[in-house]
Structure 1
Amino acid sequence: MNHVDQPAQPRRPYFAALALSSVLVVAVVGLTVAVRGVVQSRSEAGEGINDPTLSNTDRRMIGARGDVEYLWEVGAAAELGAYLEGQLPGTPTRFLEMNIYTDYAFATSQDPADPSVAVHAEWRRDEFTTARVPLDSSASQLPTFAASDVPWSTLPGLMEEAVKRLNVTDADVRYLQIDAGLYGTDGFTMRFYVSSAQSLGGYVIANAKGVITRVVAETMRLGST
């Protein structure tokens, strides 16, 4: 039987507070607020046009193989990572986080020429856009990861495992977030979020080896994409 945490509120481990200095916390909050502003404005502009599966144009743009439908599937996941790395500065690109949905993605990376600047990228409906997000000087301390650190081949299996472990029927919200400890987690983590109209769902956390380390049931429904 799978053990599922059911916290009233997401819990933060005490070591997270110790791992980040107060200055670093300010940088993370600044990044989160700034990036969410960019995402919200662009998402509102494109709301209503999103098809939950990849189009032929989408697949060609990132070099996806075959008739793959979702970005986390084999044939699209690693290709998306390579595409984002090719579009963003740095060799390799140092990502702060990636958010991968069914047929669109967001990514934020550090500008290697100026670590106090984050480059936020959005890929949606065969369009790639970026915005520079200024941070304070402590941003150079933020944890980052490279596209090569992501175990891309494990993503489809982990997404399906999340659906099973959370007992979600007809999942209509599915996406994943990848970071290297940006929000106080213990190093590189991948979170797979799932929910549906019939079940609340939640998320599972997996490590860099693609091993699930925690299952968290939500107490309220996740927002629709």
Structure 2
Amino acid sequence: MNGVPQPAVAGLNGDAPTTEAVIFDFDGVIVESADIKTEAFIALYKEHGAQAVEAAVAHHQANGGISRRKKIRHIHREHLGIGLNEDGLEALCQRFSRLVESAVVDCAAVAGAESFLAAHHRRLPLFVVSGTPHEELMRIVDRRRLTPYFTAVFGSPPEKPPTIRAILRRHGLAAANVLFVGDARTDYEAAAETGLRFIGRVAPGTASPFPAGTAVIADLTELSL
């Protein structure tokens, strides 16, 4: 594809290489929280008017998997003409966290997620690599009582590729034998950059953000190793 790296092909029914570990994105893969994050961007920008809200939602939805800090800084600079200093950015990020954290704790799990984790966590390492701020993500995973299922949980910063490389080094894993399950184009790109196999989660009724030919599932009931 014009020289752009692509993830290794991931089979769904035993036709892929041996899986030594699985890395999951969190929002939209383990929990059905995509709409919660969208509503938070609406709440954050509604005081700036309808055009700002529309721009914020469009940027958020086009950049799934990117940290909210980057999104908020970009939206303020490009659509409001406001350059945020660190204190201003941190205040907005904290406000965003207050809007979403408890809602993500309480939202539904993606179908099949909890049963998959329960069935596989004792036989191979399972990880979360997410764009959610690390401390917030750790609290959410703990409050949902998912911590025992994961070998480790990583939020942002840093971005996903360096986190994935650190996981591979620390656990002695071959990239070609690690599967990344994500729901955003940035997840696909992180898998491509680090040499992982990839399966995309595309919720029913939503358009796939992935290139043609990408292996996709509707939920984790369709994920088999």
TM-score (norm 2): 0.31
Higher strand share: 1
User: TM-score of the superposition, structure 1-length normalised?
Assistant: 0.31
Which structure: greater helix fraction?
2
**Structure having greater relative contact order (Cα 8 Å, sep ≥ 6):** 2
